[in-house]
Amino acid sequence: MRFLNLILNNLIWFLVISAFIFFSVASDRFLNPVTISNILISISALGFLVLSQSYTFITGNFDLSVESTLAFTAMVAALLIISSENGGLDIGLHYILAILIMLIIGIKIGLFNGYLITKLKVNNLIVTIAMLFLLRGLTYGISPGTTVSFFPDGFRWLGNDSIMKFSIDGFRGKLVIPVSGVIVTLAFILAYFHTKYTQFGRNMYAIGADKEIARNNGINVDRTVIIVYMIAGLCAAIAGIMIAGRLNSATPTMGHGIIFTVHAAAIIGGMSIYGGRGNVVGAFGGVLLWAILDTGLNIMRVSPFWIEVSRGLLLLLAVLIEAIRNKYQQRILTINKFSRSKVGQEDQFYWKYS
């Protein structure tokens, strides 16, 4: 019973470990430095998007617009930095300023979303769907219709550079520690600290659990939710920098459709769309699982299309397990509630039904 509980409560890490072991056994090309490096790279942008989603999930909200925020901010930066023969506007802005602008735009978009949702009381799901269209359209609109390519090296540092490379005896290829992988890990650690050890983070959980009670306890609900959306926008912009840096280009279709993957990774990591539950560490597990599956299945020459299918099935499995867990916990609660009751003790199988 306790073992079962242990597994159910840390499901994501069991999945991560078993996926890792599975691929190590199933393919002799999995457990080597190159693969590990690839996993570290592929957790980066996805990780930031999952982080943005985790924040909104904790407060019981959605932000579907992040994938468009990512594309929009990246496109703006590309246009500002890159020369006209490569598709830019020939402004030649310094890349640090461009990155700053990206981050500010991301935050502003979040502010706008948050304002509409809290102050104007528009449904968060639909608002962010509308923003998803709006920003994607804007991205297409401002783009020259082609790919804007060739960023300066400084801009690409975050997405493409590595902190260190070293070879390990007995393996071919070098273990590359990418900047992006390190940054995303740091971001998750920071986010864990923020959500667990600061008043603001705990306010987020309280709002997700029950908005009214949070308000009655003096928490400024609207302000908190707006800030959460701003953080989500910021994370999306950082993901934009990473993807643009890695591809060395910005396209209007960047990140298109990734939001479904992001939701799936967050949910399988234990985040709940009902708010007040889950933690960002679990979400990080979700990201890792995604990256491991992606890389592992790739190495095993599974068609990328099957990878897509397997992700959906995995998500279904995760919800199924959650549904079973809820039923199981419900039963425990029923037993606890009635086992001590002196009324109607002849009725012995009371927990079998309800």
Looking at residues 331 to 350 of the shown chain, list those that interact with other proteins (rule: CB under 8 A): 333, 336-338, 341-348, 350
Two structure tokens written together for 169: 């005896």
CB of 205 to other proteins, least distance (A): 6
DSSP character at residue 172? S
Q: Per CB under 8 A, does 111 bind other proteins?
A: no
Site for other proteins in 3-62 (CB under 8 A): none
Query: Which of 218, 236, 282, 292 forms a contact with other proteins (CB under 8 A)?
Result: 218
The helix (run of H) or strand (run of E) holding residue 174 is strand 174-178
Do 264 and 311 form a contact (C-beta atoms < 8 A)? yes
Q: Per CB under 8 A, does 2 bind other proteins?
A: no
Q: What is the distance between the alpha carbons of residues 138 and 157, in angstroms, rounded to a whole number?
A: 27
Q: What is the distance between the alpha carbons of residues 138 and 76, in angstroms, rounded to a whole number?
A: 10
Nearer to other proteins, 76 or 131 (CB): 131
CB of 32 to other proteins, least distance (A): 28
Query: Which of 77, 132, 287, 292 forms a contact with other proteins (CB under 8 A)?
Result: 132
CB of 145 to other proteins, least distance (A): 7
Q: Per CB under 8 A, does 214 bind other proteins?
A: yes
Q: What is the distance between the alpha carbons of residues 234 and 228, in angstroms, rounded to a whole number?
A: 10
CB of 337 to other proteins, least distance (A): 7
Site for other proteins in 112-131 (CB under 8 A): 116, 120-123, 125-127, 129-131
Query: Which of 26, 163, 164, 323 forms a contact with other proteins (CB under 8 A)?
Result: 323
Do 311 and 261 form a contact (C-beta atoms < 8 A)? yes
CB of 247 to other proteins, least distance (A): 19
Helix axes 2-9, 304-339, angle to 10 degrees: 130
Collapse the DSSP code of 249 into the 3-class scheme (helix H, G, I; strand E, B; otherwise coil) and give the result.
Answer: strand
Q: What is the distance between the alpha carbons of residues 244 and 45, in angstroms, rounded to a whole number?
A: 10
Q: Per CB under 8 A, does 196 bind other proteins?
A: yes
Instruction: Give the residue among 295, 287, 294, 293 at the shortest CA–CA distance from 268.
Output: 287
Query: Which of 203, 249, 251, 295 forms a contact with other proteins (CB under 8 A)?
Result: 203
Query: Which of 205, 229, 284, 290 forms a contact with other proteins (CB under 8 A)?
Result: 205
Q: Mention every residue, 6+ apart, whose C-beta is less than 8 A from residue 299.
A: 23, 27, 29, 30, 35
Of the candidate spans 12-20, 98-106, 270-278, 290-298, the one that interacts with other proteins by CB under 8 A turns out to be 270-278
Residues facing residue 277 across a β-bridge: none
CB of 178 to other proteins, least distance (A): 27
Nearer to other proteins, 133 or 171 (CB): 133
* Number of DSSP helices (H) and strands (E) in the chain, helices first: 15, 4
Query: Which of 20, 150, 260, 328 forms a contact with other proteins (CB under 8 A)?
Result: 260
Q: Per CB under 8 A, does 222 bind other proteins?
A: no
Of the candidate spans 13-21, 93-101, 148-156, 194-202, the one that interacts with other proteins by CB under 8 A turns out to be 194-202
CB of 250 to other proteins, least distance (A): 14
The type of residue at 156 is: R
Query: Which of 316, 325, 328, 331 forms a contact with other proteins (CB under 8 A)?
Result: 316
Do 269 and 56 form a contact (C-beta atoms < 8 A)? no
Q: Per CB under 8 A, does 202 bind other proteins?
A: yes
Q: Cα-flanking dihedrals φ and ψ of residue 163, to 5°? A: -80, -45
Of the candidate spans 8-16, 20-28, 234-242, 271-279, the one that interacts with other proteins by CB under 8 A turns out to be 271-279
Q: Per CB under 8 A, does 133 bind other proteins?
A: yes
What are the Cα distances from residue 157, in Å, to 104, 161, 248?
Answer: 19, 5, 11
Nearer to other proteins, 84 or 123 (CB): 123
Q: Cα-flanking dihedrals φ and ψ of residue 213, to 5°? A: -60, -45
Q: How many CB atoms lie within 10 A of CB 79?
A: 21
